[in-house]
Amino acid sequence: MHPAGSHGHGEGHRSACPGWFGSLVVKTKRGRVERPSSQPMRMVEGRAPIVHTKALTKAYGEHVALNALDLQIEAGATGLLGANGAGKSTFLKTLLGLIQVTSGEGSVLGHDIRTEGPSIRQRIGYMPEYEALDPRMDGIHQVRYAGELLGMNPVVAMQRAHQCLEYVGLGEQRYRQIDGYSTGMRQATKLACAIVHDPEMIIADEPSNGLDAAARDFMLQTLDTTVRNGHRSVLMASHLMDDVEQVCERIVLLHKGRLVAEGRIEDLKAIDREYEVHVWGAAEAMERGLLDRGLRVRRQGRVMRVADDRDDVPREVLEVAATTGSQVRRLHTYEASLEDLFIAIMERLGHDVKSSEDLLAGGAPR
């Protein structure tokens, strides 16, 4: 069985379907820009945004779910990150025009989120995290029904349903009842429902949730192909850093309803260079010495990650090693992952975390 639930297909089949914290120092080729801690890390390029918000706020009584969000999201693939309770689901619902904002403004594909929700939903495909399928239907009629809800002619909706189920790997399973689908097949069906009307943008909320490795890889490849070959945009909410890094070029990171980082992943990684240092002897003393010099240090045994925006970090590492009697066995620039970037940002916000799972899966610390 194909990871999504059918016997696989080539890229030719697929392309046929859619028709389609402290002070933050940002280093750029032009120099350095120091941002106060109240402002998010931001790297925004010059293209017109597909999502734009200004002072966007949503409150439920005294609880502020979204707090004065100012952001821009460009065309392409963007990952939406944040702990449980960060405001991700509320943000997605405001973009779709499903809930009214308390104050502020925003637009999606040029439509006002406060007054043009139906127009937005005509141009966006939404793949929710929650179960949204009728288990009594078969796959083909579920996807056709999704198209009809969006105003498609029933004949056209059926044609698109066949194409989209083939695209997501369910071509040979389209007439099976959804009640008998695996988790991977259900997720693939939700994606087919999201793209049946040939949207310009897809919002995918935890698209790989509950999938095994093979189905997860297929889902991510499908989303990536949709962006690159279908010339569509994807906004993907996920708590899995590897998934976001595989599909997305940019991220938006929310924390307690506030925007704390946005921009290209590669640009955000370059804000501070990080060095990996392998030492022998007196590792704790060396760690203290580096911290005393104002460097940021994460240590696991004899391996340290040392970060700062200054250019002389290697020299300082060697000086501290000489002072403490430590031997530096290896010193090199570390190629940061999105996981590393997330941890660095959360540390700047005052959280002692070892991995993204500490926050993204378990919720925000008190």
What is the per-residue pLDDT across 186-205, written as a single tens digit (0 to 9) for each? Answer: 999 999 999 999 999 999 99
Say whether both 134 and 181 belong to one domain: yes
Boundaries of domain holding 194: 11-267
Residue 104 is assigned to a structural domain of this protein: yes
Give Cβ neighbours of residue 51 (< 8 Å, ≥ 6 apart): 71, 72, 73, 95, 106, 107, 108, 235
From 267, 282, 298, give the residue that closes a domain: 267
Q: Which helix (H) or strand (E) holds 35?
A: strand 31-35
- Give the angle subtended at the CA of 53 by the CAs of 61 and 228, to the nearest 5°: 125
Residue 5 is assigned to a structural domain of this protein: no
Say whether both 197 and 338 belong to one domain: no
Query: Which of 133, 62, 79, 96 is closest to 268 using CA atoms?
Result: 79
Is a pLDDT exceeding 90 seen at residue 209? Answer: no
- Is 26 in a helix, a strand, or coil? strand
Contact 127, 203 (CB under 8 A): yes
From 267, 292, 310, give the residue that closes a domain: 267
**pTM for the complete prediction?**
0.74
Residue 334 is assigned to a structural domain of this protein: yes
Say whether both 67 and 204 belong to one domain: yes
Cα(294)–Cα(3) distance, integer angstroms: 49
Average pLDDT over residues 94-114: 96
- What is the per-residue DSSP string for 169-203? T-TTSTTSBGGG--HHHHHHHHHHHHHTT--SEEE
- Give the angle subtended at the CA of 224 by the CAs of 218 and 227, to the nearest 5°: 145
Q: Which residues pair with 299 in a beta bridge?
A: 304
Mean residue pLDDT of the chain comes to: 83
Count Cβ atoms below 10 Å from residue 254 Cβ, excluding itself: 27
Say whether both 61 and 153 belong to one domain: yes
CATH number of the domain to which 326 belongs: 3.30.70.100
Residue 336 is assigned to a structural domain of this protein: yes
Average pLDDT over residues 326-355: 77
Place of tokens 């240590």: 299
From 267, 297, 326, give the residue that closes a domain: 267
- What is the count of structural domains for the chain? 2
